[in-house]
């Protein structure tokens, strides 16, 4: 339970959340070379490694491993997406698992705690700021770059719902990343509202730590996000490599 509580998703939680963990974590044993979960399968559990070592493969290529204290599988539960990697036991392993239903209970508790903290913070902020300052908003402005003026240079990555390409604006010669999402796949997976939320959040963010959204487009088949091109690699692969 301490391993899970120390994981970034559960920092600062109160006794009610700890009680859910104590009640619902299940011990599971796996022999060496056993497959815990497979890439592209829908995830129903997250796992915490008690003993042993687990290696991860994407498209049959090893991308990292985790030992005691490692947590994996939570992305499938959070976002309702397919497993991003296959997990194989390098040794005999003892894992603790948490089902999606129990995970949602924890999320609900965390959300209530976060809302309560946000409300208290907002009240403190309101007491020290004029209403006129709070009402000021940064307006999002499209870059003015036309979709038809973007020339595809290379493919950067491929995901569940589409692709990300390196593109160059024919007029300014500047390079960007263009995410293309297929409408049919989004509708089938009931992910339309999530894409809209992603767009709205990016439009409101003005931070050096959040990727900049330059423009959005759509045609009959696809939605497009034109963002800055950041050459740091894939975040999920980096997290796996770092044992996070």
* Tokens encoding 158: 């491929």
pTM of the predicted model over 0.85: no
Domains of the chain: 2-103 (2.60.120.10), 147-239 (3.30.200.20)
pLDDT tens for the 244 residues of the chain, in order: 565 555 545 555 556 667 777 778 889 999 999 999 988 888 788 888 999 999 999 898 988 899 888 888 877 777 777 888 899 999 999 998 888 888 777 777 766 766 666 666 666 555 544 444 433 444 567 788 999 999 999 998 887 788 999 999 999 999 999 999 988 888 888 888 888 889 988 988 888 888 899 999 999 889 999 999 988 777 777 787 887 6
Between CA 119 and CA 95 the distance in angstroms is: 37
DSSP states of 19-46 as a string?
HHHHHH-EEEEE-TT-EEE-TTSBP-EE
Cβ within 8 Å of residue 117, ≥6 positions away:
none
């Amino acid at each position: 339970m301490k391993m899970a509580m120390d994981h970034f998703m559960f920092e600062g939680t109160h006794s009610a959340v700890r009680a859910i963990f104590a009640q619902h974590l299940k011990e599971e044993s796996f022999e060496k070379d056993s497959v815990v979960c497979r890439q592209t399968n829908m995830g129903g559990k997250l796992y915490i490694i008690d003993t042993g070592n687990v290696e991860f493969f994407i498209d049959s290529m090893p991308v990292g491993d985790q030992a005691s204290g490692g947590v994996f599988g939570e992305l499938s539960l959070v976002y309702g997406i397919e497993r991003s990697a296959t997990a194989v036991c390098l040794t005999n392993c003892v894992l603790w698992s948490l089902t999606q239903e129990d995970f949602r209970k924890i999320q609900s508790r965390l959300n209530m705690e976060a809302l309560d903290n946000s409300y208290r913070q907002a009240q403190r902020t309101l007491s020290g700021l004029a209403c006129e300052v709070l009402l000021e908003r940064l307006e999002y402005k499209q870059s003015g770059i036309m979709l038809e003026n973007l020339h595809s240079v290379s493919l950067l990555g491929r995901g569940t719902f589409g692709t990300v390409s390196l593109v160059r604006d024919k007029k300014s010669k500047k390079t960007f990343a263009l995410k293309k999402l297929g409408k049919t796949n989004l509708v089938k997976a009931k992910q339309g509202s999530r894409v809209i939320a992603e767009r709205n959040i990016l439009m409101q963010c003005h931070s050096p730590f959040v990727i900049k959204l330059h423009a959005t487009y759509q045609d009959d088949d696809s939605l497009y996000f034109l963002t800055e091109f950041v050459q740091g690699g894939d975040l999920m692969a980096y997290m796996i490599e770092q044992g996070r």
